[in-house]
Each structure stands twice: as structure tokens, then as C-alpha cells.
């Protein structure tokens, strides 16, 4: 492991100043659960690691007239245990509770979960120069691809592993980014960029920006939401397929958002399934028929066609779970 400078900045201004001086060699650390792994695996060689937990004001959950603000260094455990999130935003509460293990939830942060790198075994192998690391091709396309993308592949078939991202996109959340010039705010849905935009990155973050906080709108009257995650191991694991569902309507679905994890290089919104679910009530057969539309544009590889059937089931289960939940507001 190459030596690097470890810094504990005391303000966001100090962080952005560091990033401006060392735009390519500076890395930000929340809980470090992903970053330390990348360093140990030889995937990155930082010049500077800046510990964001030393920055005042970046942690905590605050409720206001405009909704909820969740600081970037708030831990996953704090998010999972927060009473307001549990009551007003069930989809986020459920996603946080099934994320990793209790030990990792105590360390990992919300911002870190949203900015983590893919778990693709070709990307994580330091000896393989895949497209995401500047190489000539995605080895998963013709190689071992059991856990890879069934949507939006092509350039890169790695799937995005975050549990929180689909939930926050379903909630129409926004992400506030600190910059050297102040702040810019983007929709959580626009925070992620597919490989066709930049295969080397998953987010729109520039080298001089920091995730400051996540802003979630006030709960909508009559809304329901739920998160369902299918994993392969019995204890904890990254999602093979997950689905975050949010909708309004007491007896039938009106407005609806469905966002999936584990199926694409970015959190993937299922607009075809959303259209099919509008007007559907709490009928298991009708919901399953509409959820089957979720796979309409899927393009599985040689080893991951099983994900298509799991996707249909997970989406239907999430909708049914949301229907059984109390109406918000």
C-alpha cells in the first residue's frame, strides 16, 4: 500500500480547498467501508484521504417545513433507527435496515452508500484492466456475468450496489453538493450517470464537490411505500435485485415510482411497469400482471437471465407490501 496523507478537515471549505489543490489524488472518506477496501485491493492510490466525519454539521437528521435533511456522514444505523424516517418514509427505513450487517451499519454513512463503487469482480480485480478502469472492454459481457446488468449494459455491465439510492429516488429526494463556489442541488435521480455518459464514474460528482446532505420532501398525503431486496446469502449481501416502490392512492394506484437496484449500472427506474400499475388496486393477480411489464426492456446476458423472473417477483412483492402499509398523512 502506498503511503498517503490522512487529513481531518474542520469545515467544508477546507475540504473543497484540498480538492482544488489535488483534484485527482484526493479521496473523501465517510465510514471508509468501501474506500479502505479499494485501497487494500490496489484499485486506487490516494495522495490524500480526507475524513469527512471530522467536519462539523455533516451528520444528523433534521425535520423541517421543507421535509427532512439527512447529513452525509449520518450513519446507516442512525438512519435505520430514526423515528421520523420509520413513520414518514417507510421505504427508506426498510432499505436502511436490510443494508449490510449491524456492524457495517454502525460505521457506514449515507453519503458513502450513495457514492460507493461497483462490486463487479472484474472491476475489483487489480490485475484486470476493464473498461471502468480505462481498459479496452467489459469482460463481463462475454465472461462470468451471473450478477451483472440486465438493463443499460453495453459499455459496462457492472450493477450499482446501493440500497439507499433506489429508496431516495423513489421518494423524489434531492442531494445537496458543496462546491468551492457554494452549493448546488440535484435530484437524486440525476445524481447517477450511466456508462454511456462516463464509464469511469457512476455519479455526476466532479473532483471538487462533496455530498453535503440529502433532502427529502415532506410526506405526501395518501402515499405508501416499501422496499424489497432479494439476496443470495442467508445473512447479509448486496442485492441481486431490489425494488423501491412509492405511490399514492387508497384503492388504486395514481402516481407511482419504482426504482430498482442490482439490475443496471445505475439505480434503474421502471417506467413501463409504472404505467402498467396506474389504476391497479390491491389485487395480487393484477399487480403481478403489471409487474411483469418490468422486464419488457431487459436484455440479460448468458448467466443472468434468472434476474428477469426475480425482478418481476420483487416488484410485485414491493407493491403488495406497500398496499398493506398504513396510508401516510
pLDDT at 314: 97
Domain identity same for 245 and 311:
yes
d(CA 299, CA 153): 8
Residue 168: exposed, middle, or buried by beta-carbon count in 10 A (0-12, 13-18, 19+)? Answer: buried
Query: Any idea of the CA torsion for 185, 190, 193, 198, to the nearest 10 degrees?
Result: -50
> Which of 199, 216, 233 is the last residue before a domain boundary?
216
CATH number (domain holding residue 191): 3.30.465.10
Query: Which residues of the chain fall below pLDDT 70?
Result: 234-235, 328-329
Domain identity same for 191 and 265:
no
Domain identity same for 231 and 304:
yes
Domain identity same for 228 and 270:
yes
Domain annotation covers residue 126: no
Residue-range definition of the domain harbouring residue 312: 223-324
Domain annotation covers residue 297: yes
- The CA-based diameter of the chain, rounded to the nearest angstrom, is 60
Domain identity same for 191 and 97:
yes
pLDDT at 67: 97
> Which of 216, 248, 282 is the last residue before a domain boundary?
216
Domain annotation covers residue 3: no
pLDDT at 304: 98
pLDDT at 329: 61
* Nearest of 46, 202, 240 to residue 123 by alpha carbon: 202
Domain identity same for 106 and 200:
yes
The pairing of beta strand 67-71 with beta strand 241-248: unpaired
Domain annotation covers residue 69: yes
pLDDT at 215: 98
End-to-end, the C-alpha distance of the chain in Å comes to 53
Domain annotation covers residue 66: yes
pLDDT at 328: 67
pTM of the predicted model over 0.85:
yes
> Which of 216, 248, 278 is the last residue before a domain boundary?
216
Domain identity same for 191 and 240:
no
Cell of 116: 460507493
Domain annotation covers residue 39: no
CATH number (domain holding residue 297): 3.30.390.50
pLDDT at 256: 98
Domain identity same for 298 and 171:
no
d(CA 12, CA 52): 9
Domain identity same for 237 and 184:
no
Residue range 296-324, pLDDT digits in tens: 899 999 999 999 999 999 999 999 999 99
Residue 103: exposed, middle, or buried by beta-carbon count in 10 A (0-12, 13-18, 19+)? Answer: exposed
Domain identity same for 239 and 290:
yes
Domain identity same for 202 and 233:
no
Domain annotation covers residue 277: yes
**Structurally, how many domains does the chain consist of?**
2
Domain identity same for 192 and 233:
no
Domain annotation covers residue 19: no
pLDDT at 296: 87
Amino acid at each position: 500500500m502506498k503511503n498517503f496523507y490522512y487529513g481531518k478537515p474542520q469545515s467544508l471549505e477546507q475540504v473543497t480547498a484540498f480538492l482544488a489543490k489535488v483534484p485527482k489524488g484526493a479521496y473523501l472518506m465517510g465510514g471508509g467501508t468501501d474506500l479502505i477496501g479499494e485501497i487494500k485491493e490496489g484499485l486506487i492510490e490516494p495522495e490524500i484521504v480526507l475524513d469527512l466525519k471530522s467536519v462539523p454539521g455533516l451528520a444528523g437528521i433534521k425535520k423541517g417545513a421543507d421535509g427532512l435533511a439527512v447529513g452525509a456522514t449520518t450513519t446507516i444505523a442512525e438512519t435505520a433507527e430514526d423515528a421520523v424516517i420509520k413513520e414518514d418514509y417507510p421505504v427508506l427505513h426498510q432499505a436502511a435496515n436490510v443494508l449490510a450487517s449491524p456492524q457495517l451499519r454502525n460505521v457506514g454513512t449515507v453519503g458513502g452508500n450513495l457514492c460507493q463503487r461497483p462490486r463487479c469482480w472484474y472491476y475489483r480485480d487489480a490485475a484486470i484492466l476493464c473498461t471502468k478502469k480505462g481498459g479496452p472492454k467489459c469482460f463481463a459481457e462475454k465472461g462470468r456475468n451471473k450478477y451483472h446488468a440486465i438493463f443499460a449494459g453495453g459499455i459496462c455491465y457492472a450493477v450499482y450496489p446501493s440500497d439507499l439510492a433506489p429508496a431516495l429516488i423513489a421518494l423524489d429526494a434531492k442531494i445537496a453538493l458543496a462546491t468551492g463556489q457554494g452549493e448546488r442541488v440535484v435530484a437524486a435521480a440525476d445524481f447517477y450517470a450511466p456508462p454511456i455518459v462516463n464509464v469511469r464514474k457512476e455519479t455526476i460528482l466532479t473532483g471538487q464537490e462533496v455530498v453535503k446532505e440529502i433532502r427529502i420532501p415532506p410526506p405526501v398525503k395518501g402515499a405508501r411505500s416499501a422496499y424489497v431486496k432479494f439476496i443470495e446469502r442467508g445473512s447479509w449481501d448486496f442485492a441481486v435485485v431490489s425494488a423501491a416502490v412509492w405511490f399514492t392512492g387508497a384503492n388504486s394506484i395514481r402516481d407511482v415510482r419504482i426504482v430498482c437496484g442490482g439490475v443496471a449500472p445505475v439505480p434503474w427506474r421502471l417506467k413501463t411497469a409504472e404505467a402498467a400499475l396506474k389504476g391497479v388496486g390491491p389485487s395480487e393477480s393484477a399487480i403481478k400482471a403489471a409487474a411483469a411489464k418490468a422486464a419488457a426492456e431487459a436484455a440479460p446476458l448468458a448467466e443472468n437471465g434468472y434476474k428477469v423472473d426475480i425482478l418481476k417477483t420483487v416488484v410485485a412483492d414491493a407493491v403488495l407490501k406497500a398496499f398493506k402499509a398504513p396510508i401516510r398523512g
